Structure 1
Amino acid sequence: MNQVMETPTQAVPHSAARPSAPAVATLTNITKRYANGVVALDGLSLELRRGEIVALLGPNGAGKSTAVRLMMGLSAPTSGDVRIFGADPQLTSTRLRTGVMLQVGRAPEMLKVREHIAMFRSYYPAPASAASLVKAAGLEGLEDRLFGQLSGGQKQRVLFALALAGNPDLVFLDEPTVGLDIEARRAMWAQIRSLRDAGKTVLLTTHYLEEADALADRIIVISKGRVVREGTPAEIKNAGAAGAGAVSSGVAVKIIRCVTTLSAEHLLKMPGVNSTMTDEGRTIIISSTPESTLREMLALDQSLHSLEVQSPALEDAFLALTRND
């Protein structure tokens, strides 16, 4: 998986994912209510732009799968508008420009890898070449193996190749690296980045928050069918560390852990301190100016010890932003 899939699309710089880039997919004020009364999406709006990787995160039942199904044209909203390339996602012309890799994806066990690739390529008017798909998914040497004889990780790589068969402009990847070893996972990450660099748009859903942090240009966190936060991975981590948005975007907060005699009331009066709590005898402080905070703490408490300073983790931010679920 060390080769970049060939594509007729001219490579574009990473900056193409900025807000000025054209919208590829939009959900506008979407409500999705099922017959049993369950509201899966509640006024949800989001946008995917050309040349970016977007990670859609949320707890189980948050509405991620419903949102993806709407963009794939597999379901219709109760109210609101869904546009893919400015058109109805259920149109054949729209679907021919999208590729999908689902966690629940299956393929006939008795077909060879090369037969699967040939079959999927035949569905599209201008598919990627078979050779480029084999290289992109790291399937060299497996072309004549039956799908049923492959390991779980190898099957994932075949499904990845099939998602790219039509040389799509928009790719939906649902838990793409489940079952892959570390080397294969990092190789797939490189291929996903190459799609972005070629001007493609990738929507990633994953429970591996490290994966979202490593790949995403933008993260959208949803909970109970609504967007609760979106931004770069750094912005999401800062927002979560600061209590779901107490710090403005762009401020690099830090987490200070230590044992100190200083009271929470005293700490909260220090410049840059946004919040504080205690956990098993240690004080945890969120500060947007950690150097200044530490200098003042050390000057006031000579007995301060067990000091750690960390950047916020995406996992911590995710839990903070969705804690109500």
Structure 2
Amino acid sequence: MNVTPFYPVGTPGQPWTAADAATWRARQVRKRSYADDVLGAIEPLRQRFEVGEYGALDYAEGHYPLLAIRSRDWNDALPVLLVTGGVHGYETSGVEGALQFVRDHGADYTGRANLLVVPCVSPWAYERILRWNPDAIDPNRNFRLDSPAAESAALVRLLAPLADKVLVHIDLHETTDSDESEFRPALAARDGTAYEPGEIPDGFYLVDSVANPQPAFQKVMIDAVAKVTHIAPADERGEIIGSPVVAPGVIEYDVKALGLCAGITDARYVTTTEVYPDSPRATPQQCNDAQVAAVRAGFDYALAQG
């Protein structure tokens, strides 16, 4: 195989060794604070919601408690509405959007449903603005109990008792320019494969479950987000990131088979949001607002179906 060197770690054409992974990890620099940005933002919410630790990560770089926010008046007779963010630590509006939703709208569902929000699944990666965990593993391909990613295994354990009680699961993500400039080249280098450039869509889109598509649910979220920011168009092949567009701003993945966060539970309604924060047409606040708009529209739609 003819492989051109493109990434500063590893030997082109060969999967990384343990030493290569250690070299990659040593290159990563802490750029922001999980304690300040996330734990600090959660603290005031304790006045209105239950906040619990569902696990903790102990890495050489520090100790990271994993927190979940839930309805104080939890009622097992009501459906569960689930939001997850920060599965990929660099996708900032997933974390900030989840926190903004709880702060501004979490109380709207009191007595109607049980709210469960996990705003930052991957705190180590959040601090370093990365996709992977410290072991160079993508949590969002490894959501299973025996996961090699501690971040993923902890969330699976949290949700296992609720698997058949979750009505909606909305997993908040971003698609960024760094997907092509850093993360996909790093993936190819790690796996010893050739990097093939892709395209970054300009705008918001959703990823539905191919095994349980809910087009009306996806549409109501797209319509709500379109009032906040622009929706990603299909490319010349009728695709977004290599997948056919099945409705404006919507593609489908087999979320369970791929080990994606959105596939953890047996929720009837699932989606993965994808915000484009590098667009010249969107501000950071618009990105957060888009995440919140999607969550509110999706939750309201699902509850209205009875």
Which TM-score applies when normalising by structure 1?
0.31
Q: Calculate the TM-score normalised by the size of structure 2.
A: 0.32
- Which has the larger strand fraction? 1
- Determine which structure has the larger helix proportion and give its number: 2
